[in-house]
Amino acid sequence: MQNVRVRFAPSPTGYVHVGSLRTALYNFLFARHHKGKIILRIEDTDQSRYVEGAVDNLLDSMKWCGLEFDEGPQQGGEFGPYYQSQRLDIYNKEINKLIEADKAYPCFCSQERLDKIREEQANANLPIKYDGHFRNISPDESLKRMKSEAYVIRLKIPAPGETKVHDIIRGEVVFQNNLLDDQVLIKSDGFPTYHFANVVDDHYMQISHVIRGEEWLPSTPKHILLYEAFSWKLPEFAHLPLLLNADRSKLSKRQGDVAVEDYRRKGILPEALVNFVALLGWHPDDDQEVFSYNGLIEKFTLERVNKAGAIFDMDKLYWFNGGYIRNLSQEDYLKKGLKWLVNESLDTGSDEKNNNILAAVRNSLNTFSDIKEKVQLFYADKIEEYSEEASSWIRLDDSKSVFKAMIIEIDKYSELSLEEFKAIMKDVQKNTGVKGKELWMPVRAAITGTTEGPELPTVISVLGKEKIRQFVLQAIER
């Protein structure tokens, strides 16, 4: 494929939706797969939705995900500026061409009139669209009124005929022109609408493939008509299936976490998020599911993107993430884990202890935010409560003799290292005749209050002599 140029064109709303992440990802993979370029363009044409710091947040989330752009606000490029709000002169120039060619016209309708005709159309069960009230007023009159009245510029849709959209994912989709609205191109504040800015920018930035969400499919014929009004070459289109909530509605903030930063905060690794999201609507030609970026780049094609929407299944994300946590190098894992320990105020002050704790819980982690809960037993000052199972182990006669023997042995030492603990348990076994599960489970129950958790020697070495002694005594009393 020659000269692939794609773009990710978000509007800065304050956070990056995972659906946007997937759109960005597919654009990125497609570009890299074809040795093309990916451009980041900020679609900030809605002044009423301006959010402070939104662009920084967006850039930050993209970087965290490992998505790199070839052109954009940060890296520049020969097709800038990459903020639509800085391209107003371009839109002005282009809209004038359209007006002069009678392909667009000013419309002076008030919001009230627009509301009224829509209401009438709705009541009459008619398709809802602008009635073309100002379609054919004379240029002279237009010019005169433009000086004193508020207006928008609308596209003059050629009434008869049909417009065909060739979509790489969905094939040919046909729309009847007479059902298409005379789309607003320039708003009364002078800013372009998405539809106009998008087409003009895609043209000037020489975008070869428009890869975006399915919600844009219905407006694509309008975009095509715009390209034709300018006599510009059409890009290829690919409309991605939507990401959905569990109830199959469009994935939304109301029903849980949708922002990339939410997952970051939860302790999801970017590699896991990206891997998971890549598989939502795309599948390789074999059964491989775990992918590095390079693997995705190599395998990704638009032809293998699905048509149906996909539910965002948290369980599978957690599964991916658990796998990625376990695949980290020990060093990397410890480094990342320590940050979480510190954030949760669980830093023991000892590197050795921190590392032991972290290493002990690694296998049970799905996210780094699980650390807090999994690590709790290492910080207890007393056993607040015993699980039912733990209680029944503790009450056994054999267990009581194990505990008593332990106290005797523990008192022979001033400190309790791993080695010493093993020696103690050997002697306890010898003196009581209790071994295997019957020996170890009561000890676990006594010092953790539950019958599950990391290997006992690790727990022992972190807790230290005094706590062990105290917990065992506490268990004898039960």
Residues 230-259 close enough to bind RNA by CB under 7 A: 241-242, 244, 247-250
Residue whose C-alpha is closest to residue 449's, from 410, 394, 397: 394
* Binding flag, residue 295, RNA (CB under 7 A): no
* Binding flag, residue 178, RNA (CB under 7 A): no
* Binding flag, residue 191, RNA (CB under 7 A): yes
Which residue among the candidates 93, 97, 144, 253 is catalytic per the annotation?
A: 253
* The binder of RNA chosen from 18, 59, 217, 260 (CB under 7 A): 217
Complex with RNA: residue 93 or 304, whichever CB lies closer: 304
* Binding flag, residue 279, RNA (CB under 7 A): yes
Beta bridge partners of 176: 162
What is the DSSP annotation of 113-133?
A: HHHHHHHHHHHTTPPP----T
* The binder of RNA chosen from 70, 81, 85, 129 (CB under 7 A): 129
Beta strands in 216-361 (DSSP E): 236-240, 243-244, 310-311
Q: Give CA–CA dist 363/347, Å, rounded.
A: 20
Q: What DSSP state is assigned to residue 54?
A: H
| Binders of RNA in range 418-477 (CB under 7 A) | 436-437, 440-441, 444, 451-457
| Binders of RNA in range 99-128 (CB under 7 A) | 109-111, 114, 118, 122, 125-128
Window of 228-236, 315-323, 416-424, 425-433 that interacts with RNA by CB under 7 A: 315-323
253 as an active site residue: the answer is: yes
Amino acid 61 reads S
Let me know if 14 is exposed, middle or buried by CB neighbors in 10 A (0-12, 13-18, 19+): middle
Residue 397's Cβ-side half-sphere holds a number of Cα atoms within 13 Å equal to 1
Q: Give CA–CA dist 110/150, Å, rounded.
A: 9
User: Closest approach of Cβ 159 to RNA, in Å?
Assistant: 15
| Binders of RNA in range 19-58 (CB under 7 A) | 43, 45-46, 48-49
* Binding flag, residue 291, RNA (CB under 7 A): no
User: Closest approach of Cβ 344 to RNA, in Å?
Assistant: 19
* Binding flag, residue 188, RNA (CB under 7 A): yes
User: Closest approach of Cβ 143 to RNA, in Å?
Assistant: 18
* Binding flag, residue 146, RNA (CB under 7 A): no
What is the DSSP annotation of 431-451?
A: HH---THHHHHHHHHHHHSSS
| Binders of RNA in range 369-428 (CB under 7 A) | none
* The binder of RNA chosen from 85, 142, 177, 219 (CB under 7 A): 219
User: Closest approach of Cβ 465 to RNA, in Å?
Assistant: 19
* Binding flag, residue 364, RNA (CB under 7 A): yes
Q: Give CA–CA dist 63/356, Å, rounded.
A: 32
User: Closest approach of Cβ 215 to RNA, in Å?
Assistant: 4
C-alpha distance from residue 379 to each of 347, 406, 467 (Å)? 10, 21, 10
Complex with RNA: residue 230 or 319, whichever CB lies closer: 319
Window of 97-105, 256-264, 314-322, 406-414 that interacts with RNA by CB under 7 A: 314-322
Residue whose C-alpha is closest to residue 442's, from 377, 383, 378, 398: 398
Beta strands in 9-142 (DSSP E): 37-40, 104-107
Tell me, by CB under 7 A, how many residues bind RNA.
87
User: Closest approach of Cβ 418 to RNA, in Å?
Assistant: 12
Q: Give CA–CA dist 428/423, Å, rounded.
A: 9
Complex with RNA: residue 36 or 442, whichever CB lies closer: 442
Window of 89-97, 260-268, 274-282, 344-352 that interacts with RNA by CB under 7 A: 274-282
Neighbouring residues of 243: CB distance < 8 A, sequence distance ≥ 6: 18, 19, 22, 250, 251, 280, 281, 309, 310, 311, 312
Window of 32-40, 133-141, 284-292, 408-416 that interacts with RNA by CB under 7 A: 284-292
Which residue numbers are catalytic?
A: 253
